[in-house]
């Protein structure tokens, strides 16, 4: 190796470094490589699938066989029962969303990334544009898998739903949309907080813990929070028949989207201003 | 070509870089020297658009680096070799960088071969030693075949073979007409690599000189004499305008060669037991230059007076 490397300076010139530039399509290609070249990505997506389908299957098999009156609401809403695992899969994909940007900051590799792509919004945009379709495709697969496995189990109790039933297809597609939205929610928070630990903590608090807590607030503030606070709004797209006192499925999903878009906009402003 | 104009960076109450101006020219290795905390890394980050200057600006090849359409073809930089994601293989790390600038993927095995990492291309970076990480960082810097190279303390953590390799690499890059800007806190390292020296302390420019000039300027010879007739020798030297100091039983003096001192002593029948001529090291000259601007100084009795 020694003789090899000591002669290195004679071979610095490349065979051919053709013209190219740090434009968005190139940066998207780069981010695609980054996402799939760490094992954590595949493992996290598999974990989302497994916990979502697993929890849904547990609920479905319990609902199919139980005669407990407390389970009655699950038997009356077979679609909702088969999608119940999404509330757990949500946490997993939020973690993926946070980490798809926070690891650049915790490792310090963001500096290398920004030397290659000094236009910061191009880098941020490319990351989001790679994460979004990956989360949407895997989220949709997960949602459909949970639905079909759940319905197969509920069928043993004769209480299964069908995709052709009113609003059912929208709810199952909504499961994929909801998971994708959570990935981007986590991504936006990760970009603002620039730390994996605080990103995940804040994301779980904002998406899983606070929605239940703030709904308990008294008066109109509580009503508003129950309707519009993050997951409270986003989850309506999973409901076959949304409760009358909540937002409609698409309105709820729109409000949920506005939440992460605003946070992502804040991240964009901060990213342009802050030292890397 | 790198141009830095009145560059200033303030972090809260700390002035990390203070009205710094210099030019780094192609075809030579320019050493960027200063004690730890002098502002070298901050200056490099501002040149690369990572940190926003409080005042002033930096230009690479005549424009702001952030405005470059293909940044990796313009500048290759190694700032912190450890700042990589350990879960990725070396080749994927380089491939993602190449893709971001539209550099053909054949270039990845090429630079891996160049830095001697071809055998570990598929291994995860997490298991690399610091020396391997430095080589990987240099591979990344060379990806786009850039005309300007910026290395922040590249020999840190390298074994002697690695240090020699980097030194030859930098000299080779400069010989090809590229601009090579390399920081270090060790004068001894720069003395063997750099053609030009930019010395800073506490964020301020202390010197911007050629290596040759720096050596000439700092090569003050010191003569040490051991004699039983110290007072007599001191008087004779004093008559010729040369002052002496006594230390550890030796008389020390500047401004006269050992030959001159020997002749003078013989002419006055002064016995001499020992006559030593010492050349001040470049390291000592550098430390003298930056003495007043060292950020974290050991609490010696003769603490430096505050910088003017």
Q: What is the ipTM, given to two decimal places? A: 0.88
pLDDT at B219: 63
CB neighbours of residue A21 within 10 Å: 17
CA distance B62 to chain A (A): 16
β-partners of residue B225 are B251, B275
**Candidates A12, A16, A118; nearest CB to B173:** A12
With pLDDT > 90 as the criterion, what percentage of chain B qualifies? 70
| Residue A23 three-state SS | coil
Gap between the Cα atoms of A184 and B277, Å rounded: 71
Q: Chain A, 28-67: which have a CB under 8 Å from a chain B CB?
A: 29-31, 33-34, 37-40
pLDDT at B302: 44
What is the pLDDT, as a whole number, of residue B189?
83
> What is the pairing mode between strands B179-184 and B250-254?
unpaired
Would you place residue A28 in the very low, low, confident or very high pLDDT band (cuts 50, 70, 90)? Answer: very high
For residue range A16-25, what is the model confidence (pLDDT) as tens digits?
444 568 899 9
- Closest Cβ–Cβ partner in A8, A115, A118 for B114: A8
Of A22-26, A70-74, A183-187, B89-93, where does mean pLDDT reach its minimum?
Answer: A70-74
Q: What is the pLDDT of residues A153-192, one digit of tens each?
A: 999 988 999 999 999 999 999 999 999 999 999 999 999 9
Query: Residues of A with CB below 8 A from B175's CB?
Result: 9
Binned at pLDDT 50, 70 and 90, residue B19 comes out as very high
Half-sphere exposure of B99 (CA within 13 A, CB side): 19
pLDDT at B294: 66
Helix axis angle, B90-100 to A24-36, nearest 10°: 160
Q: What is the mean pLDDT of residues B150-156?
A: 92
Alpha helices in A69-209 (DSSP H): 72-76, 78-82, 86-107, 109-116, 120-155, 168-193, 196-204
Q: Which of A4, A37, A116 sits opposite B101 (nearest CB)?
A: A116
With a cut of 50, say whether residue B64 has pLDDT above it.
yes
Helix (H) or strand (E) holding A224: helix A219-228
A to B CB pairs, distance under 8 Å: 161
Q: With contacts defined as CB-CB under 8 Å, which chain A residues touch B129? A: none
Question: Given an 8 Å threshold on Cβ–Cβ distance, is B50 in contact with A114?
Answer: yes
Shortest Cα–Cα distance, B136 to chain A (Å): 12
CA B210 – CA B179 distance, rounded (Å): 15
- Residues 6+ away with beta carbon under 8 Å from B166: B134, B138, B151, B154, B155, B158
pLDDT at residue A2 greater than cutoff 70: no
* pLDDT score recorded for residue A13: 45
Q: B99 and A1: CB-CB below 8 Å? A: no
What pLDDT shows up at residue B62?
93
- The chain B residue lying nearest A17, using CA atoms, is B103
Residue B296 pLDDT: 56
* B71·A118 Cβ contact <8 A: yes
Contact B96 A11 (CB under 8 A): no
Whether the predicted pLDDT of B301 surpasses 80: no
Handedness of CA B175, B4, B16, A108 (dihedral sign): negative
Do B32 and B203 meet the contact criterion of CB atoms below 8 Å apart? no
Confidence category of residue A195, pLDDT binned at 50, 70, 90 = very high
Q: Is the pLDDT reported for residue B298 higher than 60?
A: no
Among candidate residues B90, B93, B97, B95, the one with its CA nearest the CA of residue B116: B90
Mean pLDDT of chain B, nearest integer: 89
Is the confidence at residue A9, as pLDDT, over 70? no
The pLDDT of residue B258 is 86
- Whether residue A267 is predicted with pLDDT greater than 70 in this model: the reply is yes
Average pLDDT over residues A248-267: 98
**Which of B93, B15, B95, B107 is closest to B54 using CA atoms?**
B15
- The residue of chain A nearest to residue B98, with distances taken between CA atoms, is A30
Query: A86-90, A205-209, B184-188, B197-201: which has the minimum mean pLDDT?
Result: B184-188
Please say if the pLDDT value at position B280 is more than 80: no
Query: Is the pLDDT score of B73 beyond 70?
Result: yes
Is the pLDDT at A6 greater than 50? The verdict is: no
| Residue A266 contacts B, CB cutoff 8 Å | no
Query: What is the domain partition of chain A in residue ranges?
Result: 27-273
CA dist., res. B247 & res. B252, Å (int): 7
Each residue of B54-63: pLDDT tens digit? 999 999 999 9
């Amino acid at each position: 190796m020694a003789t090899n490397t000591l002669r290195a300076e004679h071979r610095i010139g490349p065979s051919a470094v053709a013209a190219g530039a740090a434009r968005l399509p190139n940066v998207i290609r780069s981010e695609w490589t980054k996402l799939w070249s760490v094992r954590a990505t595949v493992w996290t997506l598999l974990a989302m699938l497994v916990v979502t389908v697993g929890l849904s299957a547990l609920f479905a098999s319990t609902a199919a066989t139980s005669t407990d009156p407390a389970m009655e609401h699950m038997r009356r809403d077979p679609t909702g029962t088969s999608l119940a695992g999404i509330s757990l899969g949500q946490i997993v994909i939020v973690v993926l969303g946070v980490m798809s940007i926070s690891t650049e900051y915790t490792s310090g590799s963001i500096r290398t990334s920004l030397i290659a792509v000094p236009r910061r919004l191009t880098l941020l945009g490319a990351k989001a544009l790679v994460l979004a379709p990956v989360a949407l495709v895997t989220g949709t697969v997960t949602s459909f898998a949970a639905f079909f496995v759940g319905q197969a189990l509920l069928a043993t109790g004769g209480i299964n739903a069908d995709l052709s039933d009113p609003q059912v297809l929208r709810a199952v597609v909504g499961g994929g949309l909801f998971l994708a939205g959570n990935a981007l929610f986590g991504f936006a928070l990760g970009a603002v907080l620039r730390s994996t630990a605080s990103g995940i903590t804040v994301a779980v608090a904002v998406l899983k813990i606070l929605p239940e807590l703030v709904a308990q607030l008294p008066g109109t503030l509580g009503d508003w929070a129950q309707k519009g606070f993050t997951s409270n709004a986003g989850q309506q797209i999973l409901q076959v028949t949304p409760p009358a006192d909540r937002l409609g499925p698409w309105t709820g999903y729109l409000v949920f989207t506005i939440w992460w878009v605003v946070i992502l906009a804040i991240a964009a402003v901060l990213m342009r201003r802050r030292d890397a | 070509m790198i141009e830095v104009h009145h560059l200033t960076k303030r972090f809260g109450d700390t002035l990390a870089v203070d009205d710094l101006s210099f030019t780094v020219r192609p075809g030579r290795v320019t050493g960027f020297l200063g004690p730890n905390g002098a502002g070298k890394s901050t200056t490099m980050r501002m040149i690369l658009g990572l940190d926003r200057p409080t005042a002033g600006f930096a230009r690479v090849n005549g424009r702001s680096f952030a405005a470059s359409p293909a940044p990796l073809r313009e500048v290759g930089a190694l700032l912190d070799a450890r700042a990589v994601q350990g879960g990725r293989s070396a080749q994927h790390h380089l491939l993602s960088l190449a893709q971001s600038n539209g550099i053909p993927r054949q270039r990845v095995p090429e630079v891996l071969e160049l830095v001697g990492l071809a055998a570990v291309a598929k291994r995860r970076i997490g298991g690399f030693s610091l020396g391997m990480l430095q080589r990987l960082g240099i591979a990344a810097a060379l990806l786009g075949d850039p005309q300007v190279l910026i290395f922040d303390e590249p020999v840190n953590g390298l074994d002697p073979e690695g240090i020699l390799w980097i030194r030859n690499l930098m000299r080779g890059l400069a010989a090809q007409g590229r601009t090579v800007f390399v920081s270090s806190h060790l004068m001894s390292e720069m003395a063997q690599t750099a053609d030009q020296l930019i010395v800073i302390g506490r964020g301020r420019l202390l010197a911007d000189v050629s290596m040759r000039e720096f050596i000439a300027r700092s090569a003050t010879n010191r003569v040490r004499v051991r004699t039983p007739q110290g007072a007599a020798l001191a008087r004779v030297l004093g008559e010729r305008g040369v002052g002496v100091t006594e230390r550890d039983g030796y008389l020390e003096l500047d401004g006269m060669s050992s030959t001159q001192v020997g002749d003078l002593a013989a002419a006055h029948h002064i016995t001499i037991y020992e006559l030593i001529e010492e050349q001040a090291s470049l390291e000592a000259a550098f430390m003298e230059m930056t003495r007043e601007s060292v950020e974290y100084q050991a609490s010696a009795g003769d603490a430096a007076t505050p910088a003017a």
